[in-house]
């Protein structure tokens, strides 16, 4: 079946307002459709900069964009804040967590990923993840609170508050580690005169042989060198076997006292109940080259949640923002052209790899584009420019640019407010 079944006036429901869902909704603004965007948050979250919220470099509002604000001038796109827990394809409707129903003519699933703890319940209960704005704020609160707690702690407990263990040396883990290292050097000693920050340890654990293991050998070596130069303790070929909230035990047998473990070691798809298990592989929906889920003519999946086999990517596309955005653009264009001409033959999707990048610290980054590989200051400026251009609003671009410029010139940031200390993982009544 090569054509799409979209018709004028169809009610199109998009579940998920991440890169894929938001891009599709924006593409369909001028289409003759009734588009309903559904998300459990009321805002789009710019995930690549979560680590800067977690380390107090940016305010959450700088990288959060309310859906109703984005679509306030649109008469064709509406928003519903709801957590979807089931799809009922036989009735063309979805169920919310409060047993409300949302009907659809066409359904697009763009629910993205969540943190993958690989079935380790102890880790999920005690370690921090960073897949939402709120989780980023929680990390910022906890890390800043750790230094307040260290002042009151007994001598034998102090080191546990001064060790941060980050698990996973992909872009998220590397960027977090580098940002914490800069805080240790340039910011925190100014605030806490009575703390010896030579005892503040940022430990990065990676199960494979290298940091940034999916990048080139040059980038792997450069990223590790940058991190170690900045004082990060990098442990490769190392797995965190257990963590009870007080002590981390590594596969080497090493025991690290720590109150702060951040898990950045993997993701898994946000599958919604209701579709046949035969439509799912490795927690991703099996889709054709038009992003249509197999066995259905009116249900689609986009981005991280979609498993699309193509000649260039027989095992599916990488779960990165560029794939999500471009799948959404391709599907959106196909839908618009189908509505205008039912005989239109949709264009199948293929991913053109635009490269990878990661920043470690000031003037320290690695960038791999299709035509060139860069590291150092030039790569750092490219990383900043490209991420700034992806921010949705001009206002937010200016706010982020001002924050980055201020931090660049002063080596400081004023975003160190602890907004909540009622942690489910930490009792604080003994202060």
pLDDT digits (tens, 9 = 90+) for 212-267: 999 999 999 999 999 999 999 999 999 999 999 999 999 999 999 999 999 999 89
> In which band, very low, low, confident or very high, does the pLDDT at 64 lie, cut at 50, 70 and 90?
very high
pLDDT digits (tens, 9 = 90+) for 170-224: 999 999 999 999 999 999 999 999 899 999 999 999 999 999 999 999 999 999 9
Q: Helix, strand, coil: what percent of the chain each, to 5?
A: 35, 25, 40
Fold of 121-265: FAD/NAD(P)-binding domain (3.50.50)
- Rounded to whole angstroms, the Cα distance separating 418 from 183 reads 16
Provide the residue ranges of all domains of the chain, joining segments of one domain with +: 11-40+82-115+268-340, 121-265
pLDDT at 414: 67
Q: Is the pLDDT of residue 118 over 90?
A: no
The torsion angle over the Cα atoms of residues 56, 177, 322 and 24, rounded to 10 degrees, is -30
The torsion angle over the Cα atoms of residues 115, 119, 120 and 122, rounded to 10 degrees, is 90
**Residue 46: C-alpha distances to residues 19, 40, 361, 381 (Å):** 8, 15, 20, 19
Q: Is the pLDDT of residue 2 over 90?
A: no
Q: What is the mean pLDDT of residues 56-69?
A: 93
pLDDT at 11: 97
Give the CATH H-level superfamily of domain 11-40+82-115+268-340: FAD/NAD(P)-binding domain (3.50.50.60)
CB atoms closer than 10 angstroms to residue 9? 10
Q: Determine contact, residues 328/24, Cβ cutoff 8 Å.
A: yes
> In which band, very low, low, confident or very high, does the pLDDT at 372 lie, cut at 50, 70 and 90?
very high
pLDDT digits (tens, 9 = 90+) for 124-137: 999 999 999 999 99
Q: What is the mean pLDDT of residues 108-134?
A: 92
**Residue 260: strand pairing partners:** 164
Residue with tokens 């998300």: 39
- Rounded to whole angstroms, the Cα distance separating 57 from 95 reads 38
pLDDT at 422: 56
Q: Do domains 11-40+82-115+268-340 and 121-265 have the same CATH topology?
A: yes
Q: Which residue has the higher pLDDT, 421 or 153?
A: 153
**pLDDT above 70: percentage of residues in the chain:** 97
pLDDT digits (tens, 9 = 90+) for 289-323: 999 999 899 999 999 999 999 999 999 999 999 99
- Rounded to whole angstroms, the Cα distance separating 266 from 194 reads 37
pLDDT at 428: 45
Burial class of residue 100, CB neighbours in 10 A (0-12, 13-18, 19+): exposed
> In which band, very low, low, confident or very high, does the pLDDT at 1 lie, cut at 50, 70 and 90?
low
Q: Determine contact, residues 211/169, Cβ cutoff 8 Å.
A: yes
**Residue 70: C-alpha distances to residues 17, 20, 23, 60 (Å):** 11, 15, 11, 17
Looking at every residue in the chain, the average pLDDT score rounds to 92
- Rounded to whole angstroms, the Cα distance separating 324 from 326 reads 6
- Rounded to whole angstroms, the Cα distance separating 67 from 77 reads 10
Q: What is the mean pLDDT of residues 68-76?
A: 95
């Amino acid at each position: 079946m090569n054509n799409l079944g979209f018709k004028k006036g169809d009610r199109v429901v998009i579940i998920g307002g991440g890169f894929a869902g938001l891009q599709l909704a924006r593409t369909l603004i001028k289409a003759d459709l009734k588009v309903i965007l559904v998300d459990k948050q009321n805002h789009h979250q710019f995930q690549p900069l979560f680590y800067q919220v977690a380390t107090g470099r940016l305010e959450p509002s700088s990288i959060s964009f309310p859906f109703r604000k984005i679509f306030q001038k649109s008469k064709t796109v509406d928003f519903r804040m709801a957590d979807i827990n089931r799809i009922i394809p036989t009735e063309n409707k979805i169920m919310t967590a409060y047993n409300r129903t949302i009907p659809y003519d066409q359904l697009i699933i763009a629910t993205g990923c969540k943190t993958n703890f690989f079935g380790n319940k102890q880790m999920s209960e005690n370690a921090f993840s960073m897949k939402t704005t709120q989780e980023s704020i929680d990390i910022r609160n906890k890390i800043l609170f750790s230094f307040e707690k260290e002042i009151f702690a007994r001598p034998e407990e102090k080191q546990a508050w001064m060790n941060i263990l980050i698990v996973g040396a992909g872009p998220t883990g590397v960027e977090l580690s580098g940002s914490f290292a800069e805080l240790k050097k340039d910011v925190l000693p100014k605030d806490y005169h009575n703390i010896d920050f030579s005892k503040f340890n940022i430990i990065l654990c990676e199960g494979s042989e290298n940091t940034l293991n999916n990048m080139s050998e040059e980038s792997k070596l450069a990223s590790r060198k940058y991190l170690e130069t900045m004082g990060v303790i990098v442990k490769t070929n190392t797995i965190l076997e257990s963590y009870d909230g007080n002590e981390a035990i590594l596969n080497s047998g090493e025991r690290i006292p720590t109150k702060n473990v951040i898990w950045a070691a993997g993701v898994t798809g946000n599958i919604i109940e209701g579709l046949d298990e035969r439509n799912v592989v490795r927690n991703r929906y099996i889709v054709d080259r038009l992003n249509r889920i197999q066995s259905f003519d009116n249900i689609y999946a986009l981005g991280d949640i979609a498993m699309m086999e193509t000649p260039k990517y027989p095992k599916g596309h990488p779960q990165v923002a560029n794939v999500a955005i471009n799948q959404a653009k391709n599907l959106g264009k196909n839908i618009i052209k189908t509505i205008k001409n039912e005989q239109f033959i949709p264009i199948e999707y293929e991913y053109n790899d635009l490269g990878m990048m990661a920043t470690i610290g000031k003037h320290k980054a690695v960038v791999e584009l299709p035509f060139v590989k860069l590291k150092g200051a030039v790569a750092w400026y490219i990383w900043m420019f490209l991420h700034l251009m992806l921010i949705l609003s001009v206002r937010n671009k200016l706010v982020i640019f001002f924050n980055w410029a201020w931090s660049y010139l002063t080596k400081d940031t004023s975003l160190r407010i602890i907004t909540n200390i009622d942690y489910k993982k930490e009792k604080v009544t003994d202060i």
